Amino acid sequence: MSLYEKIVNKEEKISLIGLGYVGMPIAVAFARKVNVIGFDVSDSKIELYQNGIDPTKEVGNEVIKNTTIEFTSDETKIKEAKFHIVAVPTPVNNDHTPDLTPVQSASRTLGRNLTKGSIVVFESTVYPGVTEEICVPILESESGLKCGVDFKVGYSPERINPGDKVHRLETIIKVVAGQDKKSLDEISKVYELVVEAGVYKAQSIKVAEAAKVIENSQRDINIAFMNELSIIFDKMDIDTKAVLEAAGTKWNFLNFSPGLVGGHCIGVDPYYLTYKAEQLGYHSQIILSGRKINDDMGKYVAESTVKKMIKANKQINGAKVAIFGVTFKENCPDVRNTKVIDVIKELEEYGVEVKVVDPQADKEDLWREYGINLCEVEDIKEMDAVIFAVPHDEFKGIQLVDVKMMFGVTGYVNSEVMKEVAATSEFDITIDSKDCVLMDLKGLFNREEAEDTGFVYWRL
């Protein structure tokens, strides 16, 4: 009987090593069909899952409460499984070189608890060669077993899009690779249990690793092009969004838009590829140029904000600026590698006091990573500028009259939230609309309406 058949018959288990934004949804999907052990080194995270709380917001508390996953931070429980999926982060160091510490640590933990006949599949995004040249030797050293004889390895790059309820594990074609034909067949069958869209069998593990790393590199380059266009058109006093809408009427024009590129994928993965290229004697030109543009966008946004504030006759040192949205993308609590932090730090360099509002952000992660405390909408009063950085759904109901209230403007108020603010406000002053600087990075508001209302308006 094959390992796949034993898993289906619940004679063997699947283990998930790493229960973050990627690992946890995978574990939940498999648990609907087979027995799953969910392992994470974080005791606090495991405790949340055991109490039916989903800190990632990827599947929701109700799903976590009802899942059959055996959540644990006891690494010895891994021995009970024969099919292992490693889904840990692969960040970069401050010098943009790959930080393989998490995947190496996970390999050591798994290696200590690896048994004969197992299959290990890595999902972490890496440069080609990491699985076989770095992870396998660790697994062998820690387990005393021989790869290809006592256990097999494979690679299946994660394609989960945090915060996206449409493109999910089940609906995205899964690329899979194995070290030989037999392991590839087993890995494919296991993933086909949960991936409704089907699997694509890559030629080799290195091909699968390369495919993943270029997916995000391609997107990074395209967004960098949009960001560069935004900088150029701003100097020409042309609205970038209007240009893209016009150009988008052509059937083969790619639908990308300018913005802050952060997160643990697009803002990181290209550095893995260029690092490997450097080792082989090739210095990337296009990829690194795109990265530089995107890495500098936070500073560009902050400088543009200061310029608009000067135009509105604001005193910069001591000014108050509110930023709506601090996560790396909309409708997601993840704050890892968010480029909104670059905007905040740059504004603080000018002596600006920054207040941050974000109903989605993980408060504990935000404080631990950046030392930032969140504010409520009710706390945003008498601002000198307001920046809408991340288009969370919660912000789409805010209207221009509501934004005026944030500057201290009284009068007609439309939304229920801002009516409450007006009712409890201690000030009763009217500020001329031309003093209201609105930085609308992703175009949440209508530009003409904002300018007609008198806002000093700017967007990427």
Q: What is the DSSP string of 22-37?
A: THHHHHHHHHTTS-EE
Pair 424, 277 in one domain: no
pLDDT at 417 > cutoff 50: no
Note down the domain range covering 271: 214-294
Strand order in the sheet with 353-357: 353-357, 320-324, 385-388, 437-440, 456-458
Q: Is 242 in the same domain as 340?
A: no
For residues 308 and 411, state if they share a domain.
yes
Could you tell me if 55 and 100 lie in one domain?
yes
Give one word for 313, left, alpha or beta, with left for phi > 0 and alpha for psi -120 to 50: left
Domain end call among 172, 205, 238: 205
Backbone angles phi, psi at 179, to 5 degrees: -75, -15
Asked whether residue 18 falls in the same domain as residue 113, the answer is yes
pLDDT level of residue 320 (50, 70, 90 thresholds): very high
Contact 306, 387 (CB under 8 A): no
Q: How would you classify the pairing of strands 151-155 and 174-178? A: antiparallel
- Measured in degrees and rounded to the nearest 5, phi and psi for residue 141 equal -65, -45
Residue-wise burial string across 327-360, b where 16 or more C-beta atoms lie within 10 A, e elsewhere: bbbbbbbbbbbbbbbbbbebbeebebebbbbbeb
| Active-site annotation, residues | 265
Residue 78 is given by DSSP the state G
- pLDDT > 80? residue 105: yes
Count structural domains, the chain: 3
Task: Supply the CATH number for residue 276's domain.
Answer: 1.10.1040.10
Give the integer Cα–Cα distance in Å for 81 and 14. 5
Q: pLDDT tens digits, residue range 153-189?
A: 999 998 776 666 666 778 889 999 999 999 999 999 9
pLDDT above 60: residue 95: yes
Reduced to 3 states, what is the DSSP secondary structure of residue 356?
Answer: strand
Task: Give the end-to-end CA distance of the chain in Å, rounded to a whole number.
Answer: 58
One domain for residues 339 and 452:
yes
Q: How many CB atoms lie within 10 A of CB 250?
A: 8
Domain end (from 172, 187, 205): 205
Regarding whether 383 and 416 lie in a shared domain, the answer is yes
Considering the domain architecture, whether residues 115 and 180 belong to the same structural domain is answered as: yes
Between 144-153, 330-339, 413-422, the lowest mean confidence (pLDDT) is in 413-422
How many other CB atoms are there within 10 angstroms of residue 117's CB atom?
Answer: 14
C-beta of residue 151 within 8 angstroms of C-beta of residue 139: yes
Residues 70 and 93 in one domain: yes
Same domain, residue pair 240 and 371: no
59 and 198 inside one domain: yes
pTM (two decimals): 0.87
Neighbouring CB atoms inside 10 A of 171's CB total 13
CA distance 31 to 336: 27
Q: Bigger pLDDT: 265 or 130?
A: 130
Closest CA to 3 of 206, 184, 215, 272: 184
Tens digit of each residue's pLDDT (9 = 90 or more) over 437-459 = 999 999 999 999 999 888 999 99
pLDDT (tens digit per residue) in 352-372: 999 999 999 988 889 988 999
Domain boundary (236, 269, 294) is at 294
Q: Does residue 455 share a domain with residue 367? A: yes
Which amino acid is located at 133 in the chain? Answer: E
Q: What is the DSSP letter of 232?
A: H
Do residues 376 and 363 touch, judged by C-beta distance below 8 A?
A: no
Nearest-angstrom CA–CA distance, 333 and 56 = 7
CATH of the domain at 132: 3.40.50.720
* Coil/strand/helix, residue 157: coil
Q: Evaluate whether 36 touches 30 at the Cβ level (below 8 Å).
A: yes
Note the pLDDT of residue 168: 73
Pick the closest to residue 87 from 157, 177, 173 (CA basis): 157
Report angle CA 306, 397, 53 to the nearest 5 degrees: 100
Note whether 56 and 333 are within 8 A (CB). yes
Residue 55: the pLDDT is: 86
